[in-house]
C-alpha cells in the first residue's frame, strides 16, 4: 500500500450530510479517501461518492484556462456551440476586463434589473457571500439566487411562515433518540446514505418505529413499521388527515399548543373535511394506515420528521411542508433532542449558500432585503452610500430566465450551476438562454449551460481551495486545500474579488466596498460581523469539529437543536390548508405520472460524477416502472422506450423495478442524453416559486434502440 506524503482533512463535496474526509496524497495526487471513526457527522462511514467520487478533479476535459467565444453571440440568436473552434484561450486579465466591460455597459444602459447571478450550492460560504455582495453592492440588484429555488424553497418558505426560521431544527444523528420518526419525500438511502445508516440503526438497535410516506417502495420500507404509498402531489390530504386523527382522538399536546402556538382553533375547524376516508379517495393510501401512522407519531415520547424534495418540489410545496409542521406543533415534537422538523438538504452547501445571502429575498443571515434596518446594516458593512442598496426583492432562479429578453434580464453570471439540466421544461429554458445578451460561466467543465456562454472562467474544485461548507444540520465545517489548482484555474473567491475591483474602477465609485481580503476567513468574519447568528464561528474553533449555528459569541458551544424555549417568530403558527391537485393530472393521452430524483451513484446535473469513474456504475439513464405498467405497454427490462410529455420526449431503456408502484414512473435527473427535465412541467408554487418536478403526465411507447442517445449527442461534454 502506498504511504502518503500527507493527509488533509476536509469536508465532502456531495450531499448535505457533510461527511469528514481524509484525503491521502502522494506527489500532489489524491489516491485514497478515508474518514476517521470519531468524525462527529459520519463516524468513519462514507458512501460511494464520498469515498471514490473525486477523480473528476483530474479529468482531461477540465477547462483550466479562461476562454472567450470567438464571435460574441447575440440575444435571440444565442446557441449552444460545442465546436472548440468557437472558443479561444485568453489571459485572466483579458477575460476579466471583458466581463467587467460588458457587465458595466449593460448596467449603465439598462439599469440594475438587467443583471442577475446564480450562486452555487457546491461552492463555499465565502464564495457565495462574495458573489451576492458583488451584485448587490456594485450593481444594486437583488436578482441573486441559486439551486435552493429548485430543491427546498417550499420548505424554506413554510418554515419561515410558521416558525420564523428556515433551517433543519435538529441534528440528523439524533434519530437514535427517536421513538418514532417519519421519512417522507426522501429516498434517504440513495440521497443521504450516511443519515440512512443512522436511521436503520435507530430501528434495529434502538427500537424506533419508522413511518415511510412515499410513492415509491424505497429500501427504507424494509425497515418501516408502516409504508404509506401516496400518489405524487397528494401530501396535503394525507398529512391533514393525520392531523384530523390527532385532533379528533385528543392526541394533541394541549399544553404546548396553548403556550407556544397561535391559530389552533381555526386550524382545527379546517380539518373537518380531511377525514382519512377523504384522504384515501385522493391519495390511494388506505385510511387505516393513515389512522395508525397518526397515532404512532402522536403517542411517541420523541417523534421527528425528515423530509426531502418529494415534499417541496411541487406547485403546492409550501403547503406540503406546512402539513408536516402542523403535525409537530400539534404534538409538541419540536424543541427537544430527538424531535423536530428536518428538511434534508440536497447539495453539500445549499444550506450555507442560503445562509450567505444567495437568495433574492434575503441578505446573509436571512435579513430581509426589503427591511430598511437590514439594508442600512449592510450599507455600512459594504461602505455603500445611504439608500444605495435596493430595497426591492429580486427575481428567483426560475424568474430570472423567464425574464431573459431585451428590456428584461440581459446579462447572467452563473457560478457552478447548470440550469440547462436542472430547470424544468428544458425546451423553454433553452429559448430563455438564447435570449440572453451576455452570459458568463464560472465552473470546472463546459457543461450544458456553460456551452451557451460568451466567457468561461475556470474555477477550482473543493480540494484546491480553502473555505467552509454548512451541512444539513447547520454545522459549519472547514474545507481545505489539498492539491494545487490545475493549470490556470483559480478559487472562486479570488476570481470574484479580482472582477469586483475592475467593475468598481469602471463605475468610478468613490469608496470601495472592500475586495482585498487576507484570506477566506476574513471573508467569513465580514459576513458574521453583521449576520450575528455566525458571530462566534472562527476557523480556529472549527479546526477539528464544526459548530452548529446559531453561535452568537466566542464562548457559545453551538446549537444542536433549535426552539427549546421559543420560536424566532415568537409563537408557532397554524395555517388552514386546502388541497390543490398537481398542475397536470394523467389522462388518456398521457396516462402515467412521472416523478424525478437522484441516484446513489450520481450527483445533481452530473457535471462532477459523469466525469468520474462513478459513471461506470450507472452509465445510462433508465426509466423505472412497475411490472403491471410494463405489461400494459408491452415492455421488458432493457427495451428502448419513448417517454413523452406535452413538453418533450426522451428515449431510454426500461427497468421493471420493485421500487415502482402502478401508474407512477421514475427517471433520474443526471443524464443529459435523456434529460428528465425535458419532460417536467414549469408550474410554480405561488409562494416559493419552486417548480413541480415531482409530478407530470407522460406516455410510454416502445422505442427504437437506434434512438437511444449518447452523451456526445448533446455535445456539451467530452469536448475540452
Task: Give residue-wise pLDDT tens across range 278-301.
Answer: 999 999 999 999 999 999 999 999
Sort 437 into a burial class: Cβ within 10 Å, 0-12 / 13-18 / 19+: buried
**202 has pLDDT over 70:** yes
Task: Identify the CATH number of the domain in which residue 608 sits.
Answer: 2.40.40.20
511 plus 478 within the same structural domain? yes
Domain-located, residue 378: yes
Q: Where are the alpha helices (DSSP H) in 382-457?
A: 397-402, 419-422, 426-435
15 plus 77 within the same structural domain? no
Domain-located, residue 534: no
Q: How many domains does the chain have?
A: 4
394 plus 498 within the same structural domain? yes
Domain-located, residue 168: yes
Asked which of 464, 488, 517 is the last residue of a domain, the reply is 517
What is the per-residue burial (b if ≥16 Cβ within 10 Å, else e) of 454-469?
bbbbbbbbbbbbbbbb
The C-alpha cell 391559530 sits at: 263
Q: Where are the alpha helices (DSSP H) in 397-549?
A: 397-402, 419-422, 426-435, 492-507, 520-530
**706 has pLDDT over 90:** no
**712 has pLDDT over 60:** no
Side by side, the strands of the sheet bearing 547-548 are 467-470, 475-479, 547-548
Q: How far from each other are the two terminal CA atoms of the chain, in whole angstroms?
A: 33
DSSP state of 410: -
**310 has pLDDT over 80:** yes
Q: Break the chain down into helix, strand, coil percent, rounded to 5.
A: 35, 20, 45
106, three cell numbers: 449593460
pLDDT tier, 76 (very low <50, low <70, confident <90, very high otherwise): low
> Is 643:652 a contact under the CB 8 Å cutoff?
yes
Asked which of 58, 80, 98 is the last residue of a domain, the reply is 58
Chain mean pLDDT for the chain: 94
656 plus 694 within the same structural domain? yes
Model confidence over 216-234: pLDDT tens digits? 999 999 999 999 999 999 9
Percent of the chain with pLDDT over 70: 97
Domain-located, residue 670: yes
482 plus 399 within the same structural domain? yes
**195 has pLDDT over 60:** yes
Q: How many Å apart are CA 219 and CA 302, to the nearest integer?
A: 24
**1 has pLDDT over 50:** yes
Report the phi/psi class of residue 715: left, alpha or beta, with left for phi > 0 and alpha for psi in -120 to 50.
Answer: left
- pLDDT on residue 716: 41
Note the maximum CA span of the chain: 71
Tell me the HSE value of 323 on the side-chain side, using a 13 A CA sphere: 30
Higher pLDDT, 623 or 153: 623
pTM: 0.95
The C-alpha cell 453571440 sits at: 73
Task: Identify the CATH number of the domain in which residue 267 sits.
Answer: 3.40.228.10
703 plus 682 within the same structural domain? yes
Task: Identify the CATH number of the domain in which residue 29 sits.
Answer: 2.20.25.90
Model confidence over 496-545: pLDDT tens digits? 999 999 999 999 988 999 999 999 999 999 999 999 999 999 999 999 99
DSSP symbols for 622-688: EEEE-HHHHHHHT--TT-EEEEE-SS-EEEEEEEE-TT--TTEEEEES--GGG-GGGTS---B-TTT
pLDDT tier, 719 (very low <50, low <70, confident <90, very high otherwise): very low
**244 has pLDDT over 90:** yes
Question: How large is the angle between the packed helices 235-248 and 276-283, nearest 10 degrees?
Answer: 170
303 plus 336 within the same structural domain? yes
Domain-located, residue 552: no
Side by side, the strands of the sheet bearing 20-26 are 6-11, 20-26, 29-34
Q: How many H helices and E strands in the chain?
A: 22, 28
Q: What is the mean pLDDT of residues 44-70?
A: 95
What's the Cα-to-Cα distance from 46 to each of 19, 336, 358, rounded to whole Å?
7, 28, 29
**697 has pLDDT over 50:** yes
430 plus 404 within the same structural domain? yes
546, three cell numbers: 464544526
- pLDDT on residue 718: 36
Cβ neighbors of 295 (< 8 A, separation 6 or more) are 245, 249, 251
Dihedral sign computed on CA atoms, order 207, 198, 186, 690: positive
Domain-located, residue 557: no
Domain-located, residue 531: no
328 plus 401 within the same structural domain? no
pLDDT tier, 74 (very low <50, low <70, confident <90, very high otherwise): low
- pLDDT on residue 167: 87
- pLDDT on residue 346: 85
**15 has pLDDT over 70:** yes
pLDDT tier, 155 (very low <50, low <70, confident <90, very high otherwise): very high
Model confidence over 597-610: pLDDT tens digits? 999 999 888 889 99
506 plus 436 within the same structural domain? yes
Model confidence over 451-491: pLDDT tens digits? 999 999 999 999 999 999 999 999 999 999 999 999 999 99
The C-alpha cell 424543541 sits at: 335
Q: How many Å apart are CA 682 and CA 556, to the nearest integer?
A: 44
Q: What is the mean pLDDT of residues 141-157?
A: 91
φ, ψ dihedrals at 607, nearest 5°:
-60, -35
Query: By three-state DSSP, how is residue 176 classified?
Result: helix
Asked which of 492, 517, 542 is the last residue of a domain, the reply is 517
- What range does the domain containing 283 cover? 153-344
189, three cell numbers: 438511502
105 plus 10 within the same structural domain? no
Domain-located, residue 607: yes
76 plus 44 within the same structural domain? no
DSSP symbols for 179-244: SEEEEES--HHHHSHHHHHHHHHHHHHH--EEEEE-SS--GGGGG-SEEE-PPTT-HHHHHHHHHH
**628 has pLDDT over 50:** yes
Q: How many Å apart are CA 611 and CA 608, to the nearest integer?
A: 6
> Is 251:245 a contact under the CB 8 Å cutoff?
yes
573, three cell numbers: 403558527
Amino acid at each position: 500500500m502506498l504511504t502518503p506524503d500527507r493527509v488533509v482533512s476536509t469536508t465532502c463535496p456531495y450531499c448535505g450530510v457533510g461527511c469528514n474526509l481524509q484525503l491521502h496524497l502522494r506527489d500532489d495526487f489524491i489516491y485514497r479517501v478515508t474518514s476517521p471513526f470519531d468524525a462527529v457527522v459520519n463516524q468513519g462511514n462514507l458512501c460511494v461518492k464520498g469515498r471514490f467520487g473525486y477523480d473528476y478533479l483530474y479529468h482531461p476535459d477540465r477547462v483550466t484556462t479562461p476562454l472567450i467565444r470567438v464571435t460574441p453571440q447575440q440575444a435571440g440568436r444565442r446557441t449552444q456551440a460545442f465546436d472548440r473552434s468557437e472558443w479561444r484561450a485568453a489571459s485572466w486579465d483579458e477575460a476579466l476586463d471583458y466581463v467587467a466591460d460588458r457587465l458595466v455597459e449593460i448596467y449603465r444602459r439598462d439599469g440594475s434589473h438587467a443583471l442577475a447571478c446564480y450562486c452555487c450550492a457546491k461552492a463555499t460560504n465565502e464564495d457565495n457571500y462574495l458573489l451576492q455582495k458583488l451584485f448587490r453592492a456594485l450593481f444594486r440588484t437583488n436578482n441573486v439566487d441559486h439551486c435552493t429555488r429548485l430543491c427546498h424553497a417550499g420548505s424554506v418558505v413554510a418554515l419561515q411562515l410558521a416558525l420564523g426560521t428556515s433551517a433543519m431544527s435538529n441534528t440528523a444523528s439524533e434519530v437514535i433518540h427517536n421513538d418514532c420518526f417519519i421519512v417522507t419525500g426522501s429516498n434517504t438511502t440513495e440521497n443521504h446514505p450516511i443519515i440512512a445508516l443512522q436511521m436503520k440503526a435507530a430501528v434495529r438497535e434502538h427500537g424506533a418505529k419508522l413511518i415511510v410516506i412515499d410513492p415509491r417502495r424505497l429500501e427504507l420500507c424494509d425497515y418501516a413499521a408502516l409504508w404509506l404509498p401516496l400518489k405524487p402531489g397528494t401530501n396535503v390530504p394525507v398529512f391533514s388527515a393525520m392531523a384530523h386523527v390527532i385532533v379528533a382522538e385528543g392526541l394533541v399536546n394541549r399544553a404546548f399548543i396553548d403556550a407556544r402556538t397561535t391559530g389552533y382553533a381555526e386550524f382545527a375547524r379546517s380539518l373537518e373535511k380531511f377525514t382519512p376516508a377523504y384522504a384515501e379517495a385522493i391519495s390511494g393510501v388506505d385510511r387505516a394506515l393513515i389512522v395508525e401512522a397518526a397515532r404512532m407519531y402522536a403517542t411517541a415520547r420523541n417523534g421527528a420528521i425528515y423530509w426531502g424534495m418529494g415534499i417541496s418540489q411541487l406547485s403546492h410545496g409550501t403547503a406540503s411542508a406546512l402539513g408536516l409542521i402542523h403535525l409537530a406543533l400539534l404534538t409538541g415534537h419540536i424543541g427537544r433532542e430527538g424531535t423536530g422538523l428536518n428538511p434534508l438538504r440536497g447539495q453539500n452547501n445549499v444550506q450555507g449558500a442560503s445562509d450567505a445571502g444567495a437568495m433574492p429575498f434575503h441578505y446573509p443571515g436571512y435579513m430581509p432585503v426589503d427591511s430598511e434596518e437590514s439594508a442600512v446594516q449592510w450599507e455600512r458593512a459594504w461602505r455603500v452610500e445611504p439608500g444605495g442598496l435596493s430595497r426591492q426583492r429580486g427575481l428567483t432562479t426560475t424568474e430570472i430566465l423567464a425574464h431573459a429578453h431585451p428590456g428584461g434580464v440581459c446579462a447572467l453570471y452563473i457560478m457552478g450551476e447548470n440550469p440547462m439540466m436542472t430547470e424544468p421544461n428544458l425546451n423553454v429554458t433553452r429559448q430563455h438562454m438564447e435570449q440572453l445578451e451576455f452570459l458568463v460561466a464560472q465552473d470546472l467543465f463546459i457543461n450544458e449551460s456553460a456551452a451557451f456562454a460568451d466567457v468561461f472562467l475556470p474555477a477550482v474544485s473543493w480540494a484546491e481551495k480553502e473555505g467552509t461548507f454548512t451541512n444539513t444540520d447547520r454545522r459549519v465545517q472547514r474545507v481545505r486545500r489539498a492539491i494545487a489548482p490545475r493549470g490556470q484555474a483559480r478559487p472562486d473567491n479570488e476570481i470574484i474579488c479580482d472582477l469586483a475591483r475592475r467593475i468598481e474602477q469602471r463605475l468610478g465609485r468613490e469608496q470601495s466596498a472592500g475586495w482585498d481580503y487576507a484570506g477566506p476567513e476574513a471573508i467569513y468574519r465580514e459576513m458574521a460581523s453583521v449576520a450575528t447568528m455566525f458571530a462566534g464561528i472562527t476557523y480556529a474553533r472549527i479546526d477539528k469539529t464544526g459548530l452548529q449555528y446559531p453561535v452568537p459569541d466566542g464562548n457559545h458551544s453551538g446549537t444542536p437543536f433549535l426552539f427549546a424555549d421559543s420560536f424566532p417568530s415568537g409563537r408557532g403558527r397554524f395555517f388552514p390548508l386546502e388541497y390543490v391537485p398537481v398542475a397536470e393530472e394523467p389522462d388518456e393521452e398521457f396516462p402515467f405520472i412521472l416523478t424525478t430524483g437522484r441516484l446513489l451513484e450520481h450527483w445533481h446535473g452530473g457535471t462532477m460524477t459523469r466525469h468520474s469513474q462513478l459513471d461506470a456504475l450507472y452509465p445510462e439513464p433508465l426509466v423505472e416502472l412497475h411490472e403491471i405498467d410494463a405489461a400494459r405497454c408491452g415492455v421488458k427490462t432493457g427495451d428502448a422506450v419513448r417517454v413523452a410529455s406535452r413538453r418533450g420526449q426522451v428515449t431510454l431503456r426500461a427497468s421493471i423495478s420493485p421500487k415502482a408502484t402502478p401508474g407512477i414512473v421514475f427517471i433520474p435527473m443526471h443524464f443529459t442524453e435523456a434529460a428528465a427535465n425535458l419532460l417536467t412541467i414549469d408550474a410554480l408554487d405561488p409562494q416559493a416559486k419552486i417548480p413541480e418536478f415531482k409530478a407530470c403526465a407522460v406516455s410510454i411507447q416502445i422505442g427504437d434502440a437506434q434512438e437511444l442517445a449518447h452523451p456526445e449527442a448533446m455535445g456539451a461534454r467530452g469536448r475540452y
